[in-house]
Amino acid sequence: MYDLVADCRICGSAGLAPVLDLGVQPLANHLRYPSDPAPVPVPLDLRQCTSCWTAQISATVRPDELFGSYLWVTGTSAAARRYSDTFVDRVDDVLSGLDGVPASTPGFVVEVASNDGTFLRRFLERGWRVLGVEPAGNIAEAAVAGGVPTLPEFFGAEIADDLQREHGWADVVVARNVVPHVANIHAVIDGLVTVAGDLGIVVIEVHSAEVILDELHYDSIYHEHLFYFSLETLCGLCERHGLYPFDVFKSPISGGSLAVCFSKRRCPPSSR
C-alpha cells in the first residue's frame, strides 16, 4: 500500500532532515461505513532535503489508493469557482505580456488533474480549445458530461507523448495543486514540457510552503501531499527540466498558494 523513502525524490540526496512527525495516520478524505474494514495507518512525517531544501513526507502511498475514486470536486467550492475566473484573467495578462502573443487570443489549453473541469470551463467560455487529464474516473466522467473533454488517465511522459501527437502542442498547460501529489514528479514535469513544446507556457500552482509554515497550516500535511514547495524549490525543480520562471501570481486557494509561469524559451521576467 505504501513505501518509505530515505532519499530526496527531487535530487536524490540522502540528507532528509526530520521536521514534524505526526505518527501513523489513516488516509485523509477516505470516509467509510462502520461495517467497512478499519483503515490501514500510514506513517506521516515531514522532512526537508538538506541539499535542494524541498520539504516532503517519507511515505509514498500507491496512487490508485489515493486517487482511483476521488471525493474532492472543485465545483463544490464557491471560492474555487470565483477564483477560476480570476485565474483565466491572470493567464490572459501573462500572455499579453509575451512577445508575439496578442492579448486575450484564445488558443489550446491542457489542464492536468482537471477534476470536474471547473477551470477549463472558464477557458471554454472564452473561446479556448480545452482538454483535461483527470485520473479519478468518476470525476472525469462528470467533467465530460458537463461538456469538458477529459481523458481519464494518470498524467506522465507516455500520456503526454500520446496527447501531443493527437492534439498538437498546447499554448498553455495548467497544473494546479497536482505536482506536489505525485511521486514520479520528474516524469510529470517532463510531460508538461512535452505538451507545451518550445513556445507554450506552463502554469504550476502549489500551496506555498512559506504560508504553511508562517500560518501553521499543519492540517495540510497529509499523505496526498508528498511535497511542500516554496517559490525557490519549485523553480529549482523545473529548471532541472529546462523550464524557466518568468511570472508569478498569488492564489487564495488552500489559504495561500503560488501560481508560477514557466517557459522553455527564457521569457523576460514580468515587471509585476
- Report if residue 196 sits inside a domain: yes
96 is in which domain, residue-wise?
A: 72-205+229-263
Residue with the bigger pLDDT between 2 and 10: it is 10
Higher pLDDT, 196 or 38: 196
Inside any domain, residue 67: no
Phi, psi of 195 (to 5 degrees): -70, -35
234 in Cβ contact with 209 (< 8 Å)? no
Residue 246 counted as domain residue: yes
Question: With bands split at pLDDT 50, 70 and 90, how would you rate the model's confidence at 113?
Answer: very high
Inside any domain, residue 18: no
Q: Are 131 and 167 in contact (CB under 8 A)?
A: yes
Q: What is the distance between the alpha carbons of residues 155 and 133, in angstroms, rounded to a whole number?
A: 7
- Rounded to the nearest integer, the mean pLDDT of the chain is 91
3-state secondary structure 187-251: HHHHHHHHHHCCCCEEEEEEECHHHHHHCCCHHHCCCCCCEECCHHHHHHHHHCCCCEEEEEEEE
Residue 98 lies in a domain: yes
21 Cβ partners below 8 Å, 6+ apart? 44, 45, 46
Residue 238 lies in a domain: yes
Residue 56 belongs to a domain: no
Closest CA to 183 of 40, 67, 50: 67
Task: Determine contact, residues 119/130, Cβ cutoff 8 Å.
Answer: no
- Return the minimum-mean-pLDDT range out of 73-77, 195-199, 216-220: 73-77
Sheet hosting strand 42-49, strand order edge to edge: 16-25, 42-49, 55-57, 227-228
Tens-place pLDDT, residues 121-165: 999 999 999 999 998 888 999 999 999 999 999 999 999 999 999
Q: Does the residue 174 lie in any domain?
A: yes
User: Average of pLDDT values for 9-31?
Assistant: 92
Q: Domain tally for the chain? A: 1
| Residue 256's CATH number | 3.40.50.150
